Structure 1
Amino acid sequence: MAEDEADEALVGRVAGGDRRAFGRLMERHMGLAIRVAQKVAGSAADADDIAQEAFLRVWTRAGSFDPARARFTTWLYRIVVNLAIDQRRRPAHAEIDAAGEIAASDPEPLGVLVAREERRAVDTAVAALPARQRAAVVLFHMEGLSGREAAAAMEISEKAFESLLIRGRAAVKAACRAREETVGGARDDR
């Protein structure tokens, strides 16, 4: 099997039961599946399970993949996003990640701390979005898909995707602005 064989050709081989082709697809795209699952579901603990379930569906449904309708990655994004949204709807369990981080013994530069806090604020704001807005923001801004690709992955029109993205961005900006005002106000009270 050629290392540079197209994903779509590999899916065709997977539909015929080729385990090596399936393994190659997993090698190429498992990281992407985990990353998207974690960002959309908001849970590192669930991301591996979601990604594995997504690839199980690739294995069992490879015959239904139509390369004329979408690229393999678009199909995979669709599977992962749907599974992550479904997972998010289930009752939540407390994550070990919620315990926080152990502080390093050596002091970090202020810039690194500020950047980390800003990133955490954005991640928190994105995690608080409704599932479909969160998926739109993750696919477009964090995964770098075009509007057309992300809309296809979510199985919605480009106009509907654009609307979700606009609302998601506005909510993230508002949450970050409110946090900044709260943090800034707390600093002023000292």
Structure 2
Amino acid sequence: MTDSPTDPAAEAALLKAYASGDAEAARALAMTYTPLVYAHAFRMLNDRAEAEDVAQDAMLRLWKQAPGWDASGAASVRTWLYRVTANLCIDRLRKARPDGMSAEVDVADPAPGIETRLQSSARHLALEEALMQLPDRQRQAVVLRHIEGLGNSEIAQIMDIGPRAVESLTARGKRALTALLSGQRKELGYTDDTIQSP
């Protein structure tokens, strides 16, 4: 994935070029932001097909926004996309059936042995299932902070709350994850007293 432009003026110029029909600008936008949007949607929904739909919807909204993008606005394209993606995911989660969670898990590195891969897969699945039990706002804060690696100020912008509220949501989410995963410590292969939640 290419790095996203950090300068709002550069982002605005890219969107303006896209709006003018520049195919290279369209490709650059898609290559830069689609993987980011898809990854965030998947972490929120734990469903590949739903995440693909959300990513497509979020990018379509960006395309529609391109002609009137305000470079002087407070949000960067990345922040705007995170917010749109999170809102689309929350809408889908509210409409979803309680048993609609996918059990598919990708193992990131195929090099380790089968036992290591199975344990890693079990841990990943347990974490995904525990994340899905958190309230929407807690899950969103935990995913943005500990999985996406964003700072509290950017998360506050995305979630339209203050940095202290982000800290509170993240802390409560981590405590809830620890409680949810604590009963599975032995079966997940943890031998110490800490569960490695995000």
**TM-score where L is the length of structure 2:** 0.76
Partner in structure 1 of residue 21 of structure 2: 18
| Partners of 1:4 and 1:85 in 2: CA distance | 25
Give CA deviations for 1:126-169 in whole Å, capped at 9, x if unaligned: 12111111111111111111111111111211111111111111
**CA separation of 1:99 and 1:81: change in aligned 2, threshold 3 A:** closer
Residue 47 of structure 2 contacts residue 101 of structure 2 at CA under 8 Å; is this kept in 1? no
Question: Are residues 1:124 and 2:108 paired?
Answer: no
**CA separation of 1:158 and 1:117: change in aligned 2, threshold 3 A:** same
User: What's the Cα RMSD here?
Assistant: 2.9
Residue 4 of structure 2 contacts residue 32 of structure 2 at CA under 8 Å; is this kept in 1? no
| Partners of 1:131 and 1:171 in 2: CA distance | 13
Partner in structure 2 of residue 84 of structure 1: 89
For structure 2, the residue ranges without an aligned partner over 5 or more in a row are 107-112, 189-198
Percent of residue pairs identical: 33
Q: Which has the higher helix share?
A: 1
Partner in structure 2 of residue 110 of structure 1: 115
For structure 1, the residue ranges without an aligned partner over 5 or more in a row are 102-107, 185-190
**CA separation of 1:100 and 1:172: change in aligned 2, threshold 3 A:** closer
| Partners of 2:98 and 2:132 in 1: CA distance | 15
Between Structure 1 and Structure 2, how many residues are aligned? 175
SS at match of 2:185: helix
Question: Are residues 1:156 and 2:161 paired?
Answer: yes
| Partners of 2:43 and 2:179 in 1: CA distance | 19
Report the Cα offset of residue 91 of structure 1: 3.0
Relative to structure 2, which stretch is displaced further, 118-127 or 92-101? 92-101
AA in 2 matched with 1:138: V
Equivalent residue runs for 1:160-175 within 5 Å:
160-175=165-180
| Partners of 1:17 and 1:69 in 2: CA distance | 24
| Partners of 1:42 and 1:109 in 2: CA distance | 23
| Partners of 2:51 and 2:90 in 1: CA distance | 11
Residue 37 of structure 1 contacts residue 80 of structure 1 at CA under 8 Å; is this kept in 2? yes
SS at match of 2:184: helix
**CA separation of 1:110 and 1:28: change in aligned 2, threshold 3 A:** same
Report the Cα offset of residue 19 of structure 1: 4.9
Partner in structure 2 of residue 55 of structure 1: 59
**CA separation of 1:72 and 1:150: change in aligned 2, threshold 3 A:** same
Find the partner of 1:139 among 137, 144, 147.
144
Residue 138 of structure 2 contacts residue 173 of structure 2 at CA under 8 Å; is this kept in 1? yes
Report the Cα offset of residue 52 of structure 1: 0.6
**TM-score where L is the length of structure 1:** 0.79
Find the partner of 1:46 among 42, 50, 54.
50
